[in-house]
């Protein structure tokens, strides 16, 4: 332990106001995890699904986390080899089917962030079915960012606002930060308090550009397949030790 630094509180000791209400995760390193073990990249993606399951269940079980947003597929990932993309789509559809009992048991409400165009119809059908089946759940919100890009989201929001102005339904002087936030795919969901990135990368990668303006960032060198409940706990404990000032001063 570094001199002068208090040890982290256990999660049981954390007061409610010290918990992140919304955690967003850039799940990076599936391919690298596999390659370091001499395995095909696909096996890294398969192992990553286990981490998704473990982290989602644990976040829901902890009780203080209102929303968990996972960066599943970025709009830039379409540049990958077609074989890998086909595998990712099949895996996503399978996840939507297999995880329905877990989602129900944990009272999780699922939503999708990202553009629907370009996604296979059969994958969208399974995503939509899971969203519908979980729509009445009242527990943690699980946001799956699929075919998502922060710039694309902002572009779509600006387009909608421009259309409202052109139609005479909105005056330019009515445009403010709240109005823009209400046109984003995360409308109604609090911005992330904590942004986690795996595999040691120090960049946001076009993820929730508007929403993470004041998020605390926590990076681990662990690749996503090695991210587990204990890693999530460490991230939360580190977050709880930080002072969030939003540009002001704590006095």
204 annotated as belonging to a binding site for a ligand: yes
Beta-sheet pairing, 22-26 with 67-74 = parallel
Q: Is 197 annotated as a binding residue?
A: yes
Q: Is 206 annotated as a binding residue?
A: no
Kindly give the residue spans of alpha helices, DSSP state H, lying in 167-251.
Answer: 177-182, 229-240
- Annotated binding residue 29: yes
Residue 20 CA to residue 88 CA, distance in Å, equals: 30
139 assigned binding-site residue = no
Outline where DSSP puts E strands in 35-113.
Answer: 67-74, 109-113
Q: How far is the C-alpha of 149 from the C-alpha of 154, rounded, in Å?
A: 9
Q: Is 250 a catalytic residue?
A: no
Identify the burial level of 145 via C-beta atoms within 10 angstroms of its C-beta, where 0-12 means exposed, 13-18 middle and 19 or more buried. Answer: buried
Is 76 labelled a binding residue? yes
Asked whether residue 161 is marked as a ligand-binding residue, the answer is no
Q: Is 74 within any annotated ligand binding site?
A: yes
- Selecting among 6, 77, 122, 228, the annotated active-site residue is 77
Judge whether 32 is annotated as a binding position. yes
Residue of 6, 28, 147, 222 marked active site: 28
CA gap 103, 60 in Å, rounded: 10
Q: State yes or no: 22 annotated in a binding site.
A: no
* 77 catalytically annotated: yes
Ligand-binding site membership of 241 (annotated): no
Element (H, E) at 143: strand 141-148
Kindly provide the b/e burial profile for residues 46-68, where b requires at least 16 CB atoms within 10 angstroms of the residue's own CB: bbbbebbeebbbbbbebebbbbb
112 in Cβ contact with 146 (< 8 Å) = yes
Binding residues for substrate: 29-33, 41, 45, 74-76, 78, 80, 197, 203-205
Q: Which residues are catalytic?
A: 28, 77
């Amino acid at each position: 332990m570094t001199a002068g630094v208090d040890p982290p509180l256990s999660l049981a000791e954390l007061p409610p106001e010290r918990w992140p209400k919304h955690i967003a995760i850039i799940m990076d390193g599936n391919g690298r995890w596999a390659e370091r073990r001499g395995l095909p990249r696909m096996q890294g993606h398969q192992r990553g699904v286990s981490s998704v399951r473990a982290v989602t269940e644990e976040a829901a079980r902890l009780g203080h986390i209102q929303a968990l947003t996972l960066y599943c597929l970025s709009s830039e990932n379409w540049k990958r080899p077609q074989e890998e993309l086909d595998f990712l789509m099949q895996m996503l559809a399978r996840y939507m089917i297999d995880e329905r009992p877990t989602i129900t048991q944990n009272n999780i409400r699922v939503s999708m962030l990202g553009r629907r165009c370009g996604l296979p119809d059969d994958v969208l059908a399974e995503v939509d079915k899971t969203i519908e089946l979980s729509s009445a759940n009242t527990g943690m919100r699980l946001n799956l960012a699929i075919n998502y890009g922060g710039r694309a989201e902002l572009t779509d929001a600006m387009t909608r606002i421009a259309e409202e102005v052109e139609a005479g339904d909105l005056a330019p002087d009515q445009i403010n930060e709240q109005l823009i936030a209400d046109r984003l795919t995360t409308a109604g969901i609090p911005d992330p308090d904590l942004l986690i990135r795996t595999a040691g990368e120090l960049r946001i990668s076009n993820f929730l550009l508007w929403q993470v303006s004041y998020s605390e960032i926590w990076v681990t060198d662990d690749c996503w397949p090695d991210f587990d409940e204990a890693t999530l706990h460490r991230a939360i404990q580190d977050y709880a030790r930080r002072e969030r000032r939003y540009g002001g001063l704590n006095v």
